[in-house]
Every structure is written in C-alpha cells, then in structure tokens.
C-alpha cells in the first residue's frame, strides 16, 4: 500500500529522513498531491519514499489500469491489425473512438492531429501510427492532470458532489485513509442527511480511519456543513471533507441546493469551499460529460474524480471531457481515478499512463 499524499520538502530543515516517518513510496511528479501546513501550524511530517516499493506499486497500478481499460481500448487496438496506413485505418479508428465514447469533437480533433503527426513523421507502418496516436491522446489529456493541494487553508474544505452511485462516499473514504496515513487530521461531514444508509456508510469510513464525523439525521445539509466547517476551524483540522447527497444533474431544485450548501460553507469560512469535486462514473460515457457541464454550472467545479474505470468500454469519455475543458476559462483537473473498490484502486491521474493503458502499451 502506498500513500497518495506526500509532504512538501522543508527548505529550512535538513533533508534527512525522519526516523518516525513510515517508508512511503512516492508517485510520479505529475498529478501528485501535496500536503502543506498553513503558516503557524505544527511542524511538517515528511514522508520518506522508498524508490523500489514505489516502482513495484506503480507497476501493479499500471497493470490494473491496463486491465480496466481493456474493453475501451480493444476496438482501437483492432484498427491497428490492418496492414496498411490508409483511409480504412482512419475510418476504423474513428468508429472505435466513437464507440469508446470519446464523442464527435474529440474524435475529429484526435484524428486530425494524428494525420498531421503521421505526415510529419513520414510513418508508413500501423505500429508507428499507434505510437503517434498514443502521443496525441496523452497530449489531449495532459491539461486534465493536476494536483490536489492540502494545507494552504486550515482547514481545506472539500465538497464531493455527483449523481447517486458515482462513488462519492467510497472515494471520500479512500481519500480519508490516504490523508490520515499522511498525518493530516480529517473531519467528515455527512451532508446526505436524509438517507440513514448514507450516513452509516460514511460513519463506517470514519470509524475505520479513526477520524471525526459531523452527522445529523434529517437536518438541513447546509446546516451540517456550516457546523462541520466551524468545528474544523475550532479544532484546527487540516481537512473537512463533505459528502453530499447524490443528485441528478437534471434536477434543478437539487442543483440549487448544492449551490446553497457552497454558499453556507462560505458563511463559516469566506474562502471555502476550497475544492468542489465532481465524482463521475467512468461507465456513464457521454452522460458523464453532461454531468460535468451541469454541475459546473450550478457550483463552479475545481476538480474531478473518475471512478469505475475497471471494466468500462466507455473510458474514451476522458477525451471528450478534455476537449470540453479546453473551452473552459479555468482548467478542471482529474485529481484521482478509480479502477476498483480497494483502497489502492484510487490513484492520481497521469495522462501518458492513461494513454499507454488505453492502447495496451508497456
Ligand atoms: N468497480 C468499482 N466500483 C466502485 C469504484 N468506486 C466506487 N465503487 C462502488 O460503487 C458503488 C457506489 O459507491 P458509493 O461510494 O456508495 O457512491 P455514492 O452514491 O456516489 O456515494 C459502491 O458499491 C462502491 O464500492 C471503482 O472505482 N470501481
Ligand atoms: Mg454516498
């Protein structure tokens, strides 16, 4: 098991590993998560990476990602069994990308980019075209890479939103574990106040990770969040994680409620919420893009988590999201992707890794 979080190296202290710090492998530089302390906070804990363990863990992760994206990538790979680089190959690729839910604008952009790369490289073999497509996909997805930074505010208030069953509570639970392992103090807010099962599910994660939870049956979700942020401030917590109730992006009143929750959080801490993360299910394909657009319109999003990329045939939707995000005023990073229900199945997003896994490349 390895942590998603790593401490920023202190500049005013020797860089020697702390004896108390657990051996934690590091992730690649991109898409990593920084835990910093707000000014005046306690001394930083430095996590010491073990390079060997990090490489082994990352290899295991790539294998799971590759397995998870097999269905999405199989059509694309099939196009490259063709003997010649001709129009038939491009047509087959187009069909495969559309089948993978990349959507029309992203598919067209990718193929145009690919044709230019093929021309520039003078590529004549399908295997060369495949490598160039990998580059094109990685470049398209690169703006989705981003770092979730904890510790610039105390507490950092993070709202998780999304439709029912997307994986909000599970992702919050996994993040809580990673944060707690990294030494950050976490307070959970159960803002899904109406479903007892939802509160119990979050409470189970709180218990497992030995973190505190604010939960109140039948209360107004905004009121629970207000209490949680105030409690987080009073107790000097590093992070307040808010689990909101699932809602369809087409339900106007529930989307308005989400905006209200964000406003009320702002009353407890004018700079909060610091992160509004939309959790989307990788199986929902093009609908996931509609969710991103609608949630972003209700409460400006700061990041995404894409779950259930294990076994989906529709993972191409990340290209559609990247294409849409290019038109947005601010970037919208994918902080994490999930390829299963286990703790280590939630990892940071790396565009090139994703493209490699999609094309079954080593
Ligand atoms: N296969 C798979 N299942 C996941 C993943 N993330 C979450 N789940 C499962 O999806 C179901 C719904 O998750 P939950 O967190 O309750 O969704 P919520 O309604 O958005 O809070 C649960 O059974 C989770 O275990 C993932 O990355 N892969
Ligand atoms: Mg939930």
Atom of ligand 1 nearest to the CA of 282: 27
Query: Cβ(291) to ligand 1 under 6 A?
Result: no
Q: Flag whether pLDDT at 315 surpasses 80.
A: yes
Query: Cβ(126) to ligand 1 under 6 A?
Result: no
Instruction: For 260-299, give one letter per residue: b (16+ CB within 10 A) or e.
Output: ebbebbeebbeebbbbbbbbbbbbbbebbbebbebbbebb
Atom of ligand 1 nearest to the CA of 338: 27
Atom of ligand 1 nearest to the CA of 162: 20
Query: Cβ(339) to ligand 1 under 6 A?
Result: yes
Greatest alpha-carbon pair distance for the chain in Å reads 67
Q: What angle do CA 109, 140, 125 make, to 5 degrees?
A: 70
Paired with 145 in beta bridges are 334
Nearest CA to 293 out of 261, 267, 262, 255 is that of: 255
Within its chain, how far is the Cα of 260 from the centroid?
Answer: 24
Q: Hey, what are 292's tokens? A: 């991103």
Confidence class for position 6, pLDDT limits 50, 70, 90? low
Say how far apart CA 248 and CA 254 lie, in whole Å: 8
Q: Flag whether pLDDT at 8 surpasses 90.
A: no
pLDDT over 70 percentage in the chain: 85
Say how far apart CA 119 and CA 114 lie, in whole Å: 9
C-alpha of residue 41 to centroid of ligand 2, in Å: 32
Q: Hey, what are 290's tokens? A: 């509609």
Q: What is the pLDDT of residues 18-30, one digit of tens each?
A: 333 333 333 333 3
- Ligand closest to the CA atom of residue 247: 1
Lowest-pLDDT range of 1-5, 64-68, 185-189, 240-244: 1-5
Phi-psi label, residue 69: left if phi above 0, alpha if psi -120 to 50, beta otherwise:
alpha
Q: What is the pLDDT of residue 21?
A: 35
Paired with 280 in beta bridges are 306
Query: Cβ(308) to ligand 1 under 6 A?
Result: yes
Using only C-alpha atoms, the chain has a radius of gyration, in whole angstroms, of 21
Q: What is the pLDDT of residue 7?
A: 58
Assess contact for 100 and 314: CB atoms under 8 A: yes
Annotate 208-265 with DSSP letters as a single string: HHT-EEEE-TT--HHHHHHHHHHHHHHTT-SEEEEEEPP--TT-HHHHHHHHHHHHHH
Within its chain, how far is the Cα of 77 from the centroid?
Answer: 26
Mean of the pLDDT values across residues 305-310?
A: 95
C-alpha of residue 247 to centroid of ligand 1, in Å: 15
Query: Cβ(246) to ligand 1 under 6 A?
Result: yes
Its pTM surpasses 0.85 = yes
Say how far apart CA 99 and CA 110 lie, in whole Å: 14
Paired with 149 in beta bridges are 34
Q: What is the pLDDT of residues 56-83, one digit of tens each?
A: 777 888 889 999 999 999 989 998 988 8
Within its chain, how far is the Cα of 158 from the centroid?
Answer: 13
Q: What is the pLDDT of residue 195?
A: 83
**Please, where are the H alpha helices in the chain?**
51-68, 70-79, 87-99, 104-121, 126-141, 168-181, 196-209, 221-234, 252-268, 286-298, 317-325, 351-358
Query: Cβ(200) to ligand 1 under 6 A?
Result: no
Q: What is the pLDDT of residues 220-277, one digit of tens each?
A: 999 999 999 999 999 999 999 999 999 898 889 999 999 999 999 999 999 999 999 9
Q: Flag whether pLDDT at 207 surpasses 70.
A: yes
Output the CA torsion 168→194→268→159 (10° steps).
10
């Amino acid at each position: 098991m390895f942590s998603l979080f790593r401490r920023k190296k202190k500049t005013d202290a020797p860089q020697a590993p702390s004896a108390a710090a657990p051996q934690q492998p590091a992730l690649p530089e991109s898409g990593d998560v920084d835990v910093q302390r707000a000014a005046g906070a306690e001394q930083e804990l430095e996590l010491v990476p073990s390079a060997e363990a990090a490489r082994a863990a990352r290899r295991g992760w790539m294998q799971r990602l590759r397995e998870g994206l097999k269905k999405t990538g199989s059509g694309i790979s099939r196009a490259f069994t063709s003997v010649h680089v001709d129009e038939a190959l491009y047509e087959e690729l187009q069909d495969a990308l559309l089948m993978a839910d990349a959507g029309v604008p992203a598919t067209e952009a990718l193929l145009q980019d690919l044709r230019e790369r093929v021309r520039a490289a003078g590529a004549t073999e399908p295997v060369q075209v495949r490598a160039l497509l990998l580059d094109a996909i990685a470049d398209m997805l690169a703006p989705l890479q981003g770092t979730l930074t904890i510790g610039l505010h105390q507490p950092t208030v993070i709202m998780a939103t999304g439709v029912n069953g997307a994986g909000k509570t599970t992702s919050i639970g996994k993040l809580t574990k990673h944060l707690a392992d990294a030494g950050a103090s976490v307070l959970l807010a159960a803002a899904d106040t109406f479903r007892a099962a939802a509160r119990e599910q979050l409470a189970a994660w709180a218990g497992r990770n030995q973190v505190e939870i604010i939960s109140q049956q039948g209360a107004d979700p905004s009121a629970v969040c207000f209490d949680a942020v105030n409690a987080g401030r009073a107790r000097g917590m590093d992070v307040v994680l808010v689990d909101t109730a699932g809602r369809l992006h087409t339900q106007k009143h529930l989307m308005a409620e989400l905006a209200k929750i964000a406003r009320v959080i702002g009353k407890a801490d004018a700079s909060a919420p610091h992160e509004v993360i939309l959790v989307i299910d990788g199986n929902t394909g093009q609908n996931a893009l509609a969710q991103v657009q609608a949630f972003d319109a209700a409460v400006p999003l700061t990041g995404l988590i894409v779950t259930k990329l294990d076994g989906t045939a529709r993972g191409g939707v990340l290209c559609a999201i990247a294409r849409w995000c290019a038109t947005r005023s601010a970037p919208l990073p994918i902080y994490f992707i999930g390829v299963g229900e286990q703790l280590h199945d939630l990892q940071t997003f790396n565009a090139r890794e994703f493209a490699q896994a999609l094309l079954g490349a080593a």
